[in-house]
Amino acid sequence: MSPAAAPAPSAPGRPRWLGVYLVAYLVFLYLPIVLIPLFSFNDSVQAAFPLKGFTLDWYRGLAGNAALKAALMTSLGIGVCAAFLATLCGMTIAYAELTLRSRLSRLIAGLARMPILIPGVVVGISLLIAVNLVGLGPSRLAIVLGHVLVALPTTVIIIRGSLAAVPRSLPEAAQDLGASDAIVFRRVMLPLALPAAVSAFMLAFLTSFDEFIVAFFLAGTQPTLPLYIWSQLRFPKSLPTVMALGTAILVSSILIAGAAELLRRRGLRRLPL
Amino acid sequence: MADLGTSGQPQRPGSAFRVALMLPGSVVTLGLILFALGLLAILAFRFNDGSLFGAGFTLGNFRILASEPLYGLVILRSLTIAGLVTAATVVTAYPVAYYLSFHARSRALILFLVTLPFWTSYLLRVFAWKIVLAYNGVLNSGLIAAGIWSEPSTALLNTPAAVVLTLAHAYAPFAILPILVSLDAIPRSLAEAAADLGATPFTVFRRVILPNSMPGVLAGAVVVFVPTVGDYVTPALVGGPSSTMIGSLIQAQFGKAQDWPFGAALALVVMLVILAVILLVRRADHRFGSRL
């Protein structure tokens, strides 16, 4: 898919077939995804070859769609709230794990990584039971809670990596100069970990924005964007519209993920190592 | 890893700061994760009386699970599909991780390209396979247009093979990172020493690299296995009725079937299966860990 991934010239001990394999792997990875933008410009309801001609009709159809706009707003709101909470929790959990080193902080840091080991369907129904018992019920807030759990391992791991890379001499110097623990956190560690925190926020937002499996159980009357797409998949006629929408989502996801990666790297580079 | 706050820092930071630091994490992990999973475990042992949280205490849900052959079949199928997906994902990911660790020049770029699909919509990635495999879809129409096939095949979509293929694609990037981390941790001197002692490149790989990277392989296997064994979206979109998985059954209990306690029991079985797999992996991990 990318010319940049072309195999490097065979140096000694650099098997050529590995480079070829890598290209094939990337093609397998991206080919199905590329089909969505391809057919979103195709002038046919069927996603089939040969292509019928270029059109922007499916994109025009997106503009006036009120249900779609409502779903987009719901997803944006949920994504921002969930990403903020997941980043806040990720920052405090990682910082507590590294500095307090108490049994509780380690237990919490372990539990925060646990959602990796729970299938989405189980997260979804467990939270559904919980929010119903508490009286909250399926709602946007319920989805926010679900997405905080799903994104938490990512934010904890990214922010912990950045905090752990800060040389110990920096907080020690601040303390020697009389800074309290809160000041060390606010004036030394937080600024250094800020790029990682922003990167974690963006990836948590993406996780929430694209998340379907958990949201399926926790949605009330207002569907998120993936739930809206899911409801449209039943109608063969809306297939091209889904592909136009999918293209827009893919492009924004790729831009956000790219920006998050750049930020994370810049954050690590900025450290005085 | 350079951890903070050992020697120079006092053991007891200011208590207000400490409380503020512990609060969000405690609420989310203890108050949300453990609370919700605890409720799930309790609900699995209750009668379905139509109320929110069931009634009484019963082992009936598990009795039904054990006595109806359908559930055993679906659980077995879920394990088989997830096992195949895991094996396929790990085996195909390994050479990529190997290349990245030992040979890649533009490593950061390739790593970004490989992990990028992970950040795109899972639903859209599965949907992409539906349009590839459909009766009048991309693959059928493309092969007919190319003159390779004369008529479209129905054998592509709605098969367990379609589920395996789609899931293997959807979770492909998951396995690469853990394998890469373990490959990067292998001291290069080990491979050099083996080569100096006369080992062929293949022997170096088989006797030195592969065993030492097994912790990463096993970790990668777990992170692929967990989401696939409970998946219900892919069977619904590309699997058809012959590919119903345990996740589909759980979803149905919380939807159409309206039997939450039974759905909770099914979910508990999934969690136990995952626990068993993790324990097995731990044991294998210790075996390989001792080689280092």
Q: What is the pLDDT of residues A212-240, one digit of tens each?
A: 999 999 998 899 999 999 999 888 888 88
Average pLDDT, stretch A97-112? 92
Whether the per-residue pLDDT at A12 is higher than 50: the answer is no
CATH number (domain holding residue A100): 1.10.3720.10
Which of A121, A171, A257 is opposite residue B247, by nearest beta carbon? A121
Q: Are B101 and B154 part of one and the same domain?
A: yes
In a domain, residue A252? The reply is: yes
Given a cut of 70, whether residue A124 has pLDDT beyond it is: yes
Mean pLDDT of A68-92: 96
Number of separate domains in chain A:
1
- What residues make up the domain containing B84? 68-289
Cβ within 8 Å, pair B5-A99: yes
Question: Residue A46 — very low, low, confident or very high, per pLDDT cuts 50/70/90?
Answer: confident
> Can you give the pLDDT at residue B55?
83
The answer on B164 and B29 residing in a single domain is no
Q: In which band, very low, low, confident or very high, does the pLDDT at B14 lie, cut at 50, 70 and 90?
A: low
Same domain, residue pair B82 and B187: yes
Q: Cα dist. B148→A60, A66, B154 in Å?
A: 36, 44, 16
Residues of A with Cβ-Cβ distance to B82 under 8 angstroms: none
State the best of B53, B103, B144 to mutate against chain A, taking most chain A CBs within 10 Å.
B103
What's the CA gap between A81 and A83, in Å, rounded?
6
Q: Does the pLDDT of residue B8 top 50, yes or no? A: no
A109·B251 Cβ contact <8 A: no
Q: Which of A26, A132, A150, A181 to mutate to probe the B interface, most B CBs <10 Å?
A: A181
B153 touches chain A (CB under 8 A): no
Number of domains in chain B: 2
B32-38 average pLDDT score: 95
The answer as to whether B47 is a domain residue is no
**Tell me, what amino acid is at B238?**
V
Is A181 within 8 Å of B113 when comparing Cβ atoms? no
Residues B82 and B118 in one domain: yes
Q: Is residue A203 part of a domain?
A: yes
- B151 and B90 in a common domain: yes
Mean pLDDT for A127-152 is 95
Residues A97 and A109: their CA atoms lie apart, in Å, by 6
Same domain, B280 and B229: yes
**Residues B153-186, buried b or exposed e (16+ Cβ, 10 A)?**
eeebbbbbbbbbbbbbbbbbbbbbbbbbbbbeeb
For residues B132 and B29, state if they share a domain: no
With 90 as the cut, is the pLDDT of residue A261 above it? no
Percentage of chain A beyond pLDDT 70 is 93
What's B157's DSSP letter? S
- Answer whether residue A59 is part of any domain: no
**Mean pLDDT, to the nearest integer, of B52-79?**
90
For residue A11, is it within any domain?
no
Determine, yes or no, domain membership for A4. Answer: no
Q: Do A112 and B29 touch (CB under 8 A)?
A: yes
The pLDDT value given to residue A7: 40
Distance from CA of B198 to the nearest CA of A (A): 16
Residue B175 sits in the same domain as residue B262: yes
Lowest mean pLDDT among A47-61, A87-101, A184-198, B253-267: A47-61
pLDDT at residue A267, as a whole number: 75
Kindly state whether residues B26 and B149 are assigned to the same domain. no
Token pair 């909470």: residue: A85
Residue A3 lies in a domain: no
B263 min Cα distance to partner chain A (Å): 9
Q: Is residue B246 part of a domain?
A: yes
Kindly report the number of other CB atoms within 10 A of residue A160's CB atom. 25
Q: Do B39 and A126 touch (CB under 8 A)?
A: yes
Q: What is the mean pLDDT of residues B159-166?
A: 92
Q: For B21, which of A18, A92, A256 is closest by C-beta distance?
A: A92
Q: Which residues contact B256 (CB under 8 A, 6 or more apart)?
A: none
B51: contact with A, CB 8 A cutoff: no
pLDDT of residue B51: 80
Residue A60 lies in a domain: no
**Site of tokens 């450290």:** A271
Average pLDDT, chain A: 88
The domain spanning residue B152 has which CATH number?
1.10.3720.10
- What rounded mean pLDDT belongs to chain B? 87
Q: Which domain holds residue A116?
A: 74-270
